[in-house]
Amino acid sequence: MSRQNDLGIAETHTVTISPPGGLQLECGESLQAVTIAYETYGKLNRDRTNAVLIVHALSGDAHAAGFHHGDRKPGWWNGFIGPGKAFDTDKYFIMCSNILGGCKGSTGPSSIDPSTGKPYGLRFPLISIGDMVHCQKLLVDHFGIERLLSVAGGSMGGMQVLAWLTRYPGQVRSAIPISTAIRHSPQQIAFNEVGRQAIMADIDWKSGDYYEGPPPARGLSVARMVGHITYMSDISMHDKFGRQRKDCIQPFKFDPDFEVEGYLQYHGENFVKRFDANSYLFITKAMDNFDAGRGKPLHHLLRGIDAKVLVLAFKSDWLYPTYQTKEIARACKLAGIEASYCEIDSTYGHDAFLLEIEEETHLITHFLKKVYNGYEVMTDNAGI
């Protein structure tokens, strides 16, 4: 891919915010202060009306676009953010922050607990998607932005988008939830639970107090392998691997034979270098506990909200099947919100939200332009 539309060097900044009385969490506990790692791209205009917040998925971070010094790989949504891209940095001011509970600069279970001087581990409070969004709200306030032009994200990012809509309805002009759900199905909970069990089964996990020794690498690697399978589709795995065998001598019976095994193992092991196992536990639990409707049908909470919504989904996504994204669009309609639902015919499975750059760019560009210019949004491409 050409780098001509890329942003060049990007940098992660941090800000530590101590709300009066501390950050109150939904579980009832609080944190004295919260550090938020973030990146921004483009320029905030004088009226502060061109800010778009990008929210990341389970293993994402604040580094959504551009290149960190010395890195050969750009941020996780680089294809979408930059001059002339879907989130056009010539027009918009793009922000992305690492979630609360994460391990890429924001406060999380690997952060130092000021009351003990040691990493929180399992003493970190049970955070929620709402708490993550609360922190993003503090960051947005910190920039003096009263109303976001848009909030956009896929997977768990999409959950945060829904939480923004229902919690801070006056502060978002539009929202783009992608490949996500109002709440997890038992199958989605089950896949997350297997990942958690794999981590907690690792002898190195030590009830979360592993920061002075080796991390629970094998458990986290298995958790990531499970995740990877669910992010791809039967077809995309066929296309990528087939039944191709690995081209090497295997000294050991249960070494990977097939390409797909080697791929999973490689990505599992690699993940350990960049992710904290306790963060994996806390974040997946926040996803499983999430219910955008907070016990009620979602449209009850959406009523009267003045925001436009673009819901994107992908046909081969079996982790977040399209019936779940349709439910979001339906709730918007029931609440009288202007919403469009677009189902993209991709074979990439759940990963599609990171990969179908062209199709998504077309839809997002058009949508954001209309919102920014105050026009009415386009109509559906799918009857729901």
Q: What is the DSSP letter of 269?
A: H
* Binds a copy of itself by CB under 8 A, chosen from 321, 343, 352, 360: 321
Listing DSSP states for 51-117 in one string gives EEEE---TT--S--SSB-TT-SS--TTTTTEETTSSEETTT-EEEEEPPTT-SSSSS-TTSEETTTT
**Radius of gyration of the chain measured on its C-alpha atoms:** 20
* Binds a copy of itself by CB under 8 A, chosen from 150, 221, 279, 346: 221
Is residue 29 near a copy of itself by the rule CB under 8 A?
no
Listing DSSP states for 304-360 in one string gives T---EEEEEEETT--SS-HHHHHHHHHHHHHTT--EEEEEE--SSGGGHHHH-HHHH
Q: State which residue, 78 or 110, has the beta carbon closest to a copy of itself.
A: 110
Query: Smallest distance, Å, CB 291 to a copy of itself?
Result: 8
Contact segment (CB under 8 A) with a copy of itself among 8-16, 52-60, 219-227, 336-344 equals 219-227
Is residue 365 near a copy of itself by the rule CB under 8 A?
no
* Binds a copy of itself by CB under 8 A, chosen from 44, 226, 357, 377: 226
**Which residue is listed with tokens 């952060």?**
111
Query: Smallest distance, Å, CB 179 to a copy of itself?
Result: 15
Which residues, including other chains, have CB under 8 Å from residue 71's CB and lie 6 or more apart? none
For the chain, the straight-line distance linking the first and the last C-alpha, in angstroms and rounded, comes to 36
Query: Smallest distance, Å, CB 298 to a copy of itself?
Result: 14
- Binding to a copy of itself (CB under 8 A) within 259-288 occurs at 259-261, 264-265, 268, 281, 285, 288
Cβ burial, residue 293 (10 Å; 0-12/13-18/19+): middle
Is residue 257 near a copy of itself by the rule CB under 8 A?
yes
Query: Smallest distance, Å, CB 195 to a copy of itself?
Result: 9
Is residue 256 near a copy of itself by the rule CB under 8 A?
yes
**In degrees to the nearest 10, what's the CA dihedral of 139, 143, 148, 153?**
-40
- Binding to a copy of itself (CB under 8 A) within 98-127 occurs at 122, 126
Is residue 350 near a copy of itself by the rule CB under 8 A?
no
Is residue 296 near a copy of itself by the rule CB under 8 A?
no
Give the catalytic positions in this structure: 155, 317, 350
Is residue 200 near a copy of itself by the rule CB under 8 A?
yes
Identify whether the C-beta of residue 47 lies closer than 8 Å to the C-beta of residue 72.
no
Packed helices 277-289 and 129-142: angle between N→C axes, nearest 10 degrees: 100
* Binds a copy of itself by CB under 8 A, chosen from 15, 17, 44, 194: 194
Contact segment (CB under 8 A) with a copy of itself among 80-88, 144-152, 195-203, 355-363 equals 195-203
Is residue 234 near a copy of itself by the rule CB under 8 A?
yes
Identify whether the C-beta of residue 353 lies closer than 8 Å to the C-beta of residue 178.
yes
**Sequence letter at residue 40:** T
* Binds a copy of itself by CB under 8 A, chosen from 26, 113, 193, 380: 193
Contact segment (CB under 8 A) with a copy of itself among 33-41, 56-64, 93-101, 233-241 equals 233-241
Q: What is the DSSP letter of 264?
A: H
Q: Is 300 left (phi over 0), alpha (psi -120 to 50) or beta?
A: alpha
The binding site for a copy of itself (CB under 8 A) comprises 122, 126, 183-187, 189-191, 193-194, 196-198, 200-203, 218-219, 221-222, 225-226, 228-229, 232, 234, 237-238, 240-243, 253-254, 256-261, 264-265, 268, 281, 285, 288-289, 291, 318, 321
